[in-house]
Amino acid sequence: MKPKPGHASLIFFAVMIFSGCKKQNPLITDTPADYYPLQIGKYITYRMDSVKFINVGSQDTVISYLAKDVVEDSITDNLGRPSYRVIRYLSDTTGTRPWMPTIAYLVTPTGHSIEVVENNLRFIKLVTPVQDYVSWKGNVYIDTNPDDSSQVPYLDDWNYSYANTGLSYDVLEGTIPVTTTVNEANETNGNVNSILVTTFSMAVYGKGLGLIYKKFLYSEYQPPSIDFPAGATIGYGLTLNMVDHN
């Protein structure tokens, strides 16, 4: 039996709605583990540019290294979860000097997120699904209350969010075909006639690779005064740009 004209119109309308929804909300299968693979012996080498403020904060300087992050061991964290210890080694920018260990940090894949503990600060770096506009409080486990003598109040209430998922990204090693960008912070408070605070942080992860690019800057500018006639800036910055990996 043929459907009535009214029924046929309803069926066509329903199909169009379903097709439109499907186009706007594609099935997402990528997980944090796709963008942060972990296995013992894996490494990524970066050009690392460290920004420091010198001469009582009246000028900044950039110190550059090669930094190699190596997954050294599988362990458990203080919650008993399977984790990985990563060691960062530094050399000069030509890589001719011996690699010297500098810091260690812990990476914990939870199945629905990637957590990183560095300098006793616990960050949620990635969450599922890896899809543009998904957002989360990446610093929720960090005490940022200055009343509790927090040393990192500028990390308070950061809202991480995905952008440019699935697009390519150029780093020093070349073009990485599939990446996702995590925008973590981008704020400027105050003005040059008073205290001016700038906070910026973003990271790019390559599918099947891990962190391929990172840029961070925190600075607090104080205008000229009797004690600091030229003004003063405190803070620090860091850029990591991948040059090699295995």
The band of 203, judged by pLDDT with boundaries at 50, 70 and 90, is: very high
Residue 20 has pLDDT above 50, yes or no: no
Inform me whether the pLDDT recorded for 23 exceeds 80: no
* pLDDT tier, 9 (very low <50, low <70, confident <90, very high otherwise): very low
Cis peptide before 129 (omega within 30 of 0): yes
Tell me the average pLDDT of the chain.
87
Task: Compute the average pLDDT of residues 74-93.
Answer: 96
How far apart are the C-alpha atoms of 56 and 78, rounded to whole Å? 40
Indicate whether 88 pLDDT > 70. Answer: yes
pLDDT-derived band of residue 8, with 50, 70 and 90 as boundaries?
A: very low
Residues 6+ apart with CB under 8 A from 131: 28, 30, 162, 165
Measured in degrees and rounded to the nearest 5, phi and psi for residue 133 equal 80, -10
Contact 172, 242 (CB under 8 A): yes
Percent of the chain with pLDDT strictly greater than 90: 67
Q: With contact defined as beta carbons under 8 Å apart, do 214 and 240 qualify?
A: yes
What's residue 101's pLDDT?
Answer: 97
Helix (H) or strand (E) holding 38: none
Single-letter code of the amino acid located at 190: G
Question: For the segment 216-230, what is each residue's pLDDT rounded down to a tens digit?
Answer: 999 888 787 777 777
Highest mean pLDDT among 10-24, 51-65, 170-184: 170-184
Residues 194 and 69: their CA atoms lie apart, in Å, by 39
pLDDT tens profile 31-72: 999 999 999 999 999 999 999 877 655 557 889 999 999 999
**Whether 123 contacts 110, CB under 8 Å:** no
